[in-house]
Chain A
Amino acid sequence: MDLDSGSSSTVGAGVQAIPGRPVRRGALYQFKQQNLPACKPVLTPATVIATFLLMSLIFIPLGLITLRTSNSVVEIVDRYDIECVPEEYRSNKLLYITDDSISKNCSRFLKVPKSMRAPIYVYYQLDNYYQNHRRYVKSRNDKQLLHGLGDNSTSSCKPLESAGDLPIVPCGLIAWSLFNDTFKFNSGSSELKVNRKNIAWKSDRDHKFGKDVYPFNFQNGPLIGGGKLDPNTPLSDQEDLIVWMRTAALPSFRKLYGRIEEDLDADDVIVVQLMNNYNTYSFGGKKKLVLSTSSWLGGKNDFFGVASLFIGAFCMLISIVFLLLHVKNPRPYGDATYTSWNKKSSSS
């Protein structure tokens, strides 16, 4: 939108002035007469073409910068949900995951493509997992999470509101389906330390999850969903739960598992010891382990760069098209008098 304020004018004051009319020029008076000074921007070729050119000049560099930033992020993505199922269960993964007697241990070898600077974020990624499903997203009780067992009704936690007489703490589907795969990292012979503290938002730990709320009856019911919680740790310290309960808006999402606070060199091989507990096999979901560095834009995301470049190119194209139109075809009606018109408008 170009604001070409060339013709700013106080309109209409005098043209039909009735002689003898009291001359009042207060702002309120002007408002009442609909005569407030106004600027009337007009879309002239010059301003419009310039605007588009300017936009492209902003967006193309912006696209290049963000693309570069995104490329500077090193990311290792490893899908492990299929590989970690032993060969004999490949045809019936559901049996494998639901049978507790089968060992869920699994090892993965990750090669670091480029050197990665600390902190290196460890995420687990779930695909085709609808944390935003209406039944799921509503099935929680924020008051209970903060205050614990009170007189709060837990009806919003349906269908998992209570076990026996007491409400489950924490109640609801989200907590019940807590992700419970675990990862251990070894680089060569030494163990890579994964810092699992401060992975949740500080505001959540301080104000959303109670310091004296203990999950005393969690996952005790007949239906076992996902992970269990340590009944002796208050909710505010159960950071995996807090991270999990920040529901994702998309069916593919990554959640922070921890941070590796060591640099990794290129071509290092990392051995991941993982417990493949979580069931994504029943609905065809995928599980991935992600190691990623970070930039000022966050993780690796080419979208900003591509979109900016696209918009920049589009603006450039439009400005060229309009420029050509303006130069080649200043008289759209083939009307001679339009020449004078357009000359004037372009010069102004």
Chain B
Amino acid sequence: MKRYVYINDDESSHDLYCDNRISNRKYTVLNFIPKNLWEQFSRFMNQYFLLIACLQLWSLITPVNPASTWGPLIFIFAVSATKEAWDDYHRYLSDKKANEKEVWVVKNGIKKLIQAQDIHVGNIVWLRENDEVPCDLVLIGSSDPQGLCYIETAAMDGETDLKTRVIPSACMGIDVELLHKIKGVIECPTPDKDIRRFDANMRLFPPFIDNDICPLTIKNTVLQSCYLRNTEWACGVAVYTGNETKLGMSRGIPEPKLTAMDAMIDKLTGAIFVFQIVVVMVLGIAGNVWKDTEAKKQWYVLYPDKGPWYELLIIPLRFELLCSIMIPISIKVSLDLVKGLYAKFIDWDDQMVDLETSTPSNATNTAISEDLGQVEYILTDKTGTLTENKMIFRRCCISGIFYGNENGDALKDVELLHAVSSGSPDVVQFLTIMAICNTVIPTQSKTGDILYKAQSQDEDALVQAAARLHMVFFNKSGNILEVKFNNLILQYEVLETLEFTSDRKRMSLVLKDCQNGKILLLSKGADEAILPYARTGQQTRNFVEAVEQYAHLGLRTLCLAWRELREDEYREWSLMFKEANSTLVDREWRVAEVCQRIEHNLEVLGVTAIEDRLQDGVPETIETLRKAGINFWMLTGDKQNTAIQIALSCNFISPEPKGQLLSIDGKTEDEVRRSLERVLLTMRITTSEPKDVAFVIDGWALDFALNHYRKAFTELAILSRTAICCRVTPSQKAQLVQILKSCDYRTLAIGDGGNDVRMIQQADIGVGISGREGLQAARAADYSIGKFRFLKRLILVHGRYSYNRTAFLSQYSFYKSLLICFIQIFFSFISGVSGTSLFNSVSLMAYNVFYTSVPVLVSVLDKDLSEETVIQHPQILFYCQAGRLLNPSTFAGWFGRSLFHAIVVFLISIHAYAYDKSEMEEVSMVALSGCIWLQAFVVAMETNSFTILQHLAIWGNLAGFYAINWIFSALPASGMYTIMFRLCRQPSYWISIFLMTAAGMTPILAIKYFRFTYRPSKINTLQQAERLGGPIVSLGTIEPQPRPLIEKDVSTLSITQPKIRNPVYEPLLSDSPNATRRSAGTPFDFFQSQSRSSLPNYSRNCKDN
């Protein structure tokens, strides 16, 4: 499908394509209520509550006032609807602002100021400096005589450097006045979201130029949301408008992520629902039987002999309503609230602020903090994530001579400086390539310093280094590059730019040396993209050695090469290049092929080595997280050797005796298969050994592995705690995440660049590093942090605490709902199974909304272990990973507790308030008070650290309970007039409460103490150790140096209590999540047996590193 855009033609395309109105809104004023309600009711929980609320309107069956359900329900709905409406209103406002922005558009040959939303396809839009681009334009004019203009694309891809755009050759040199009247047609593809491609053609109508078709690329466009910079004005034809722009097409509402915990809570809710149905059926049948046998004899109840047809349903429905509080209506609100607070704690954390740039950490996604504590796999990018992405030119090898090997800095190497000053031709040529073979734009600041705007950090490093070596690239005006070398100004005219693509892995310039008119081809690129094309006869062994040597040091290498072109050779090639550039289909591939034709026979000059320093604290972070049972995979676009070196230097893999690196490689499908099988076999053998086995695979082999041997590779992925994947593409990164996710692992992807975005979005948790490659990754991510080392704190501190807190909060919510529901059920047995509610409506509503939800909310401040202890003993994270704190068995514990407490409260209330005291409302308040007291003590018992807020909430809530009830007791109209006053005067009331609390809490305290002391979990052990080792930990406040201190702490701990390590460490390793998963890993059993039988003889260990 193609789209034909007629330039400056107001009529023809108006109806065909949409106008430039941007709309990100989800709702309109009219459809807000129905659409929002529909969305909310698509959740099971909400449907359930609505059904309950509707049933309550039937007064025959409702045990309580319908307001007790409708109130909270409406409140919950109003809260989330308001939130949605608020968000949508802001979207509307920002849309409106963008839509009503005034822009200059040519209408009937005259420039007019119109609103951006009225731009139509085909209009000519004029932009001034620093204007935002309102829609996707094809440039046709610019103030620059060469037709260049500069744009900033930060809003689109997060890259902060300026990019150049150029007007198509056909429009070159058209007068400003004529631009108002220009007519023509642009043939372009239908809108898509690829912001790196635009394969179109333009043809101008007479009288403009000849009838030539002029090819257009992305270089000729300026896209919506970019800014025009350093250019006085530019004008272009609108080709895509409104929501059909490339930005608009790539916009999408990301799928909401559901945490493992939410899934578990949903599951438990489902179980409770089933339990509720069973209870309702049993009680319903019992109630009907009692009614038919007993109640008919109870003359004072006056049952009619023959009821309506639905008579049999009435009692079960009553019990359904009575039991509906089993599923706490408040849990969603509570969870949303505390999740918001977890996210805020991350935002506020002072220890996760990047001091260099003073960027705080940010939790964009507020709903998934618990998942951080359950991470099992971390997939990390290398460049910019593990490393600083601050490139520094360190070494080079020119014509076989190594520079910078002695002192590690070639710029200070006397020999190189000497060679430069003496003008050695190879060296000078090498420097020239370093300085100009790139897409860097030099700009002169007001003070006269030269600043470089580079798209890649490597190029920047090379140009800077060349400048330090007196080859200063100081001006680029149009096609003319000017270089100053030792006060000599050299000029070059760029004829063609053969751009860098990740497939070609090299870039070249064809330029004319203005000094002598020679045409030169300068190339730089990866070794495997340059060295094979060396001039026949040139010895490249030196360079291969250099590349290997540098790669071993973890340096990034680039090979530089050049050759001189003959005039005719260039001209012939230039035609082909033009033609390739104007193809519409497969342009990229065609261009690459044409480039190949000229990039050969190269004179290789040398190799540059650029250091990319590791970020602070990366090895420690990896080691700590690895101890926490998290597996690391490194996915990088870099070379295998560099990747391995970086991996070694940051503790990613262990060196030879301790660790073992298996390599999967091969050029053909078959080789890859055999290699994969070999590695798999070795892995299976070595899983029992305490050895760090890792595998390394490159993008090529990975392609086969993913497409043809997915099963085998998946098994490998499960067996292997560490992997290095090099030379992988963004989509392969995402596929790897997908594989791990499909094995039910919680994955965290961390990266910093645009190439990591897909992986970040795919993973359960995406973490972006707001680093040098722009904010693209950080923007797509759920969390953005400034430095890799903050990951430790993010996972171990924030993730773990969030998990623990939510685990408590959710189970407690069920506990308190079940508690009151069990009491209602027990009461029904002494009230003729008729479905009478012991508690009145006000109490029931307030119980869920006030009395029990406040104390538990402050559990967000609870810390079971101090942050230092967790960081020192990261193994403790296993409890979160394995879901030890929220699972059916812990839930069963809470269930049992609520049953036990319900029995205690019920028995004590009915026995203490028997006979003359058995007044309904008094008994009801005694039971309710018992519940409130018990739950206060339960919260207190489960709280590990009490801050002032916790005391306030727990005991203040208790006081609040009495205050509220006294107020109600003072109102004659309320159902409980004077009740609470009467009760509080009775000694028997207080004795009952005392009995209930003691009877309810002593067994729990006893069990807790017994477990804590004689069957301690690792958390308990650490709590005990923390308590004993208090002085050691608090030493930290005195010492200023952070890191040595931690090590010291560990050592002191291990000296004084040498065996603490044992109970803490060993069991954790033996029941690591992998071990349990493996034993239960049924999906692969089939495959294992199959593969074993098919490959019986493989025992050869394949490792080549």
Contacts and interface: CB of A to CB of B under 8 A. Distances in A.
A150 interface: no
Interface in B901-921: 908, 910-920
B728 interface: no
Contact of B947 (A36, A45, A348): A36
B585 interface: no
Interface string A22-62: 00000000011110111111110100100110010001001
Interface in B952-1000: 972, 977-978, 986-988, 991-992, 995, 998-999
B940 A132 contact: no
Interface of A: 1, 3, 6-7, 9, 11-21, 31-34, 36-43, 45, 48, 51-52, 55, 59, 62, 66, 121, 123, 125, 129-137, 156, 159-160, 173, 176-177, 201, 203, 207-208, 223, 225-226, 246-256, 279, 282-284, 292, 296-299, 301, 303-304, 307-308, 311, 314-315, 318, 322, 325, 329, 332-333, 335-338, 340-341, 344-345, 348
B1059 A335 contact: yes
Given A130-B832, A249-B919, A298-B917, A322 B991 contact: no
B889 interface: no
A341 B63 CA distance: 55
B1023 A42 contact: yes
Interface string B281-309: 00000000000001101111111100000
Contacts of A39: 945-946
A160 B914 contact: no
A307 B908 contact: yes
Interface in B715-741: none
27 contacts: A15-B867, A17-B1040, A20-B355, A38-B946, A40-B945, A43-B1009, A59-B998, A121-B916, A132-B836, A134-B835, A156-B59, A159-B304, A203-B977, A249-B913, A250-B923, A253-B916, A253-B918, A254-B916, A297-B991, A301-B911, A301-B988, A304-B988, A307-B995, A311-B998, A337-B1062, A338-B1059, A341-B1028
Contacts of B1006: 52, 318, 322
B1046 interface: yes
Given A7-B1027, A249-B923, A253-B915, A207 B300 contact: no
A34 B918 contact: no
B1059 A337 contact: yes
Contacts of B977: 203, 207-208
A131 B1028 CA distance: 59
Contacts of B1039: 14
Nearest to A256: B916
Interface string B1011-1024: 01111000000011
A125 to B, nearest CB: 7
B916 A298 contact: yes
B262 interface: no
Contact of A55 (B344, B1002, B1057, B1060): B1002
A323 to B, nearest CB: 12
Best-surrounded residue of B63, B300, B863, B920 (most CB of chain A within 10 A): B300
Contacts of A344: 1028
A336 B1059 CA distance: 9
Contacts of B914: 250, 252, 301, 303
A141 B987 CA distance: 32
Interface stretch (B24-32, B483-491, B1029-1037, B1073-1081): B1029-1037
Contacts of B1055: none
A249 B1046 CA distance: 63
B924 interface: yes
Contacts, number: 280
Interface string B231-275: 000000000000000000000000000000000000000000000
Contacts of B863: 11, 34, 38
B995 A15 contact: no
A249 B998 contact: no
B937 interface: yes
B300 A42 contact: no
B798 to A, nearest CB: 9
Given A34-B345, A132-B831, A348-B1028, 11 more contacts: A1-B1005, A15-B1036, A15-B1037, A42-B1027, A51-B1005, A129-B298, A133-B832, A134-B831, A299-B917, A304-B912, A322-B1009
Q: Top 6 closest A-B pairs, CB basis?
A: A15-B1036, A14-B1037, A337-B1059, A177-B300, A38-B945, A249-B923
Interface stretch (B346-354, B670-678, B1093-1101): B346-354
Contacts of A16: 351, 1042
Contact of A303 (B318, B912, B1059): B912
B918 A345 contact: no
A133 B1013 CA distance: 49
Contacts of B1027: 6-7, 40, 42, 345, 348
A134 B298 CA distance: 13
Nearest to A308: B995
A15 B1046 contact: yes
Contacts of B109: none
B1046 A173 contact: no
B941 interface: yes
B998 A66 contact: no
A33 B1057 contact: no
Best-surrounded residue of B1001, B1015, B1023, B1059 (most CB of chain A within 10 A): B1059
Interface of B: 59, 63, 294-295, 297-304, 318, 344-345, 348-351, 353, 355, 801, 827, 830-832, 834-836, 838, 861, 863, 866-868, 908, 910-920, 922-924, 937, 940-941, 944-949, 972, 977-978, 986-988, 991-992, 995, 998-999, 1001-1002, 1005-1006, 1008-1010, 1012-1015, 1023-1024, 1026-1028, 1030, 1033-1034, 1036-1040, 1042, 1045-1046, 1057-1060, 1062-1063
Contact of B350 (A21, A36, A51, A336): A21
Given A21-B350, A137-B836, A298 B988 contact: yes
A201 B1062 CA distance: 68
A34 B861 contact: yes
Contact of B299 (A62, A252, A283): A283
A308 B1059 CA distance: 44
Contact of A333 (B995, B1057, B1063): B1063
Best-surrounded residue of A279, A283, A299, A335 (most CB of chain B within 10 A): A283
Contacts of B1005: 1, 43, 48, 51-52
A135 B301 contact: yes
Nearest to B300: A177
Contacts of B945: 38-40
Contacts of A133: 295, 298, 301, 831-832, 834, 836
A36 B345 CA distance: 13
B1028 A345 contact: yes
Contacts of B1045: 15
A311 B866 contact: no
Contacts of B295: 133, 135
Contact of B868 (A12, A341, A348): A12
A39 to B, nearest CB: 5
A11 B868 contact: yes
A3 B920 contact: no
Contacts of A18: 350-351, 353, 355, 1042
A182 B768 CA distance: 85
A225 B301 CA distance: 10
B513 to A, nearest CB: 52
A337 B1057 contact: yes
A48 B577 CA distance: 86
A247 B1001 CA distance: 32
A251 B940 CA distance: 36
A123 B302 CA distance: 26
Contacts of B303: 135
A59 B60 CA distance: 46
Contact of A137 (B355, B919, B920, B1001): B920
A8 to B, nearest CB: 9
B940 A1 contact: yes
